[in-house]
Amino acid sequence: MINLEILLESIGSFEERINYKFKNKKNIILALTHSSYANENRNERLSSNERLEFLGDAVLNIIISETIYNNYPNLSEGQLTKVRANIVCEQSLVKCSNNIEVGKFLLLGKGEDISGGRTRTSILSDAFEAVIGAVYLDGGMKNAKAFVYSQMEHLIKDSVSGIIFLDYKTQFQEIVQKDGEKKIAYEIVEENGPDHDKEFVAQVKVAERIIGKGKGKSKKEAEQAAAKAALEMLSTK
């Protein structure tokens, strides 16, 4: 059972952290409610943040697309797509989520909480997008833009400058397939550690030949690390 007084106090602290005060507190409570909590507390008839994350993802993409389109007129369509992908990738969203300590305020089921859900990358990135959706529903596009800019303006500039995380898989594919189609395959070859702190090892093959290996806290991160290693190997040839 939710202690309403404690919950509202927590919401107030979060509002101060993101510099936005919700007119309807239900919007931000929904954004911070993980499916594990909703499932464990069905008698409270709570929904999870999954639908709101879906909306926030769409809002974030239009904000970032419009921003880089208007501010960087010299970028081609392909370059705009890459810049946007760098900004809205899981790694960037997790950084933003950690900056405002989303994990601290999440409503999680007991099992999810015990197993490290407050630091799980997928939960944090989804919750950050749900917060964007909540701000959009509560205050419209103007406030959603202000929130996104406050959290991601530096990521936009760094992405255009090529400083932050790059999509190594795309770069590797472009190099390998520039002279024709070659089959590229990624495989997860190891999983180490407990469920709440997994480490994955991935390898990338070209025509059945292993080109690179890499580690990461998620399968996607491990695949990107493998692609990065493959790129580094190619650059030494």
The residues carrying an active-site annotation are 57, 129
Which structure tokens are listed for 231? Answer: 């790129």
Phi-psi region of 182 (alpha: psi -120 to 50; beta: other; left: phi over 0): beta
224 burial via Cβ count (<10 Å: 0-12, 13-18, 19+)? buried
Residue 212, beta-bridge partner list: 204
- DSSP for 184-217, written as a single string: EEEEEEEEES-GGG-EEEEEEEETTEEEEEEEES
Place of tokens 């705009």: 80
40 burial via Cβ count (<10 Å: 0-12, 13-18, 19+)? middle
Q: How far apart are CA 67 and CA 149, in angstroms?
A: 9
Which structure tokens are listed for 118? Answer: 């407050």
Contact 220, 90 (CB under 8 A): yes
- Nearest Cα neighbor of 36 from 126, 98, 101, 140 is 126
